[in-house]
Chain A
Amino acid sequence: MKEFLTRQSLVLINLSYIAIAASLFNNINPLLLIFGLLCAAWRIVLFYGRVSILPKLLLNSAALLSTFLIIVLVYKQGLFSVMLHLILLGFSLKFLELKSERDVHYFVNTGFILVALFFIFNSSIVTSLLGGGLILLLLAVLLSIHAPHCLFAEQSKLLFKSAAVSLPLAVVLFIVIPRLPSLWKVPLQKQAATGLSDSVSPGEIAQLSRSSELAFRASFTGAPVEESERYWRVMILDAFDGRTWSQSAVKKEEEKTVLNGESSLYGLSGKLNSYDLILEPHYKTWIPALDFSQVSFSAVNLSDYSLRSRQPVFKRKDFTADLYQSVNSISLSAERRFQLTKLPEQGNEKTRLWLAAQLKRGLSKDKVLKLLLDGFSAQAFRYTLQPPVLGAEQIDDFLFSTQAGFCVHYAGAYVYAARSLGIPARMVTGYLGGEWQADLNFLTVRQYDAHAWAEIWQDGQWQRVDPTAYVAPERVELGLEGALSDSSEFLAGQYLSLQKWRHISFLNDLRLNLARLDYLWAVWVINYDNKKQLELLTSWFAQYAWLNMLYGILVMMLCAFLFVVLITFKPWQKKKREVEDRLYLQLQAYYAKLGVIRGKGQTVSDYAENIRLSINRPTPLFEKFAVNYNRLKYQAGLSAGQRTKLIKELQALSRQIRAGKN
């Protein structure tokens, strides 16, 4: 086979292949990646002529086999994943048979689609730039194929120039073209959910606290909510099996109804504020909510005041929620009360005994709980993300021997105690606090802000109690880093994270600027929708008078253009040709085919002469036609009858001539 690729295009193709495969690294099966790398290596060896091209049969059977394998391997991950893998497989296989320019074009176009899929998973500003780079790389492949004689410098100049020239129009289109709603339901990637899950055992939140990944951002229309009130409710855990806090069957049932969009109705009153949330994708439906919030559409309320999105959040998404002061009290059914006071029959005897002893001393239940909280702050309890391991009797071990732990331990112990006393209680997981960026007016909440607290049923409504606040009030006021006495625990193992180095002012500035940029990106690019579009355009038109003028001028010019076009072409009065003219035109077309074209301004008699000379024999029929035509056109005083007769004759002549009888 003649090698049609230049060395340069081969390098570019390999580079773009590897870059695209690497960018999808997180979402694809490593086996496929290895297969792809083998393909790339083989293609390079082929270029140097060490191996020959694979026979078609082998190639086809390899394609079939690998398709089958891939489907078997990723079948469980859902349709989306199968689609992604198959496209990538096709991309890899195309690599093996790059035999012509056309193959390269297929390769590049598949690359575009893979980059688009990359954008489904990644939407931060950095990854977007990366994706843009991939697109440029693919275009460079095309350029290297079609301009092989250009120098590298010329090629890059041309590429960047054309990309730069294309950019403004793309931006304008992006801003002004209205967005369509989803045309049909699409399969989603089954992705390991990030962030909080629907059950909590003490290890989990500690795990999250090691991650500086962004969870969500919030901005307030009014004044930002006070630090001590920034409890972002995500989930209620109301069942305890002695080790793990999880959702009871009733709660799970309620979560399921969310998918049908059924909202729990409870009266909210006293609107305080409203806030915008930009949620990072977590592939679940929860929306962090302050007490008490409501999102008007695209989300529903659960009876426990938390919010759920109607659809899993699989990309950065924004929600607008209204914040209310209070909620109408509701009654607790006996069934729910039973569930909310349920504990394992056995275990944690020390705690139970201690509680019983306090009650015996004549203290009220509330007082006992208060005593417990005071104990957290007064005694030797400490707040740490790396607590000693607890035994089978978790609560006992924590309260009476280790006395070290973090939010889940404290909240768990508190809820356990409340339930032991017969007070309905539940654990709430969510996020606490966040980093306030005053200049941009938004709050950044990261995974390490994950928190757990307790709620107890008192006076016909749920009261929030945060036992952690007693042992480490700084956790509420200053955030996680402030609460940890040993700062090396903060983001342990995350040396590359800028969060870790926030005490270095230069790095901190950099980090804050990046965060700001990414926030704007999320607000204005990722979540730019029809509503924002309308707002933006209206505000522009209101702000800049010249834009109005420009628009007006454009519209006027368009109208003028249309008017001129209409006046020039007069489509409403398309001139009807006379019969004789039509016949004459037909004959002209006929003779033009024989090679005699009527010159401009040539009379019918001249034309007849011309024809006679050209075809080199007499043309009596056409000459007769010419005479009749002239009579019809120029003889004065023809009667209507004569006209019809002449026209009939012309028609007959034309028929005969065109039948070749001349």
Chain B
Amino acid sequence: MAGRLEPPQGAESAPFWEATRGGTLLIQWCSACNRGIFYPRSFCPHCLAMDGVLEWRTASGRATVYAASVEHKPAAGGSTFSDGQPYVVALVDLEEGVRMMTNVVGCTPEDVHPGQAVTVTWEPLSDGRQLPLFTPS
């Protein structure tokens, strides 16, 4: 969709973004300490393990809203993807224990609140990758 700043893709995050083409939400995982890592890194920031322990796991796509705000002045922020309408910027906690920023869509913005259950949904980017958004479960 036009009007978004499309994400650059680093070497460490390439598997994440490539998987979005098929609508799969991958989370980097440390097999040494059995914890999720976000954003993707070249080592595990929890246990400092580096070689041979970093994997990718398919996330369930289920998450809980940690914090949500409504952008009331999209134009002032340079965003045009919402056609000038207020939109939700939220931090959500995935079931796998990692937190990410997203938009919560498909509902009245003011209704989005901490503790709310949400599920991943995808918005196509111009190069075939997709952006993970969330919608109320």
A joins B in a complex: no
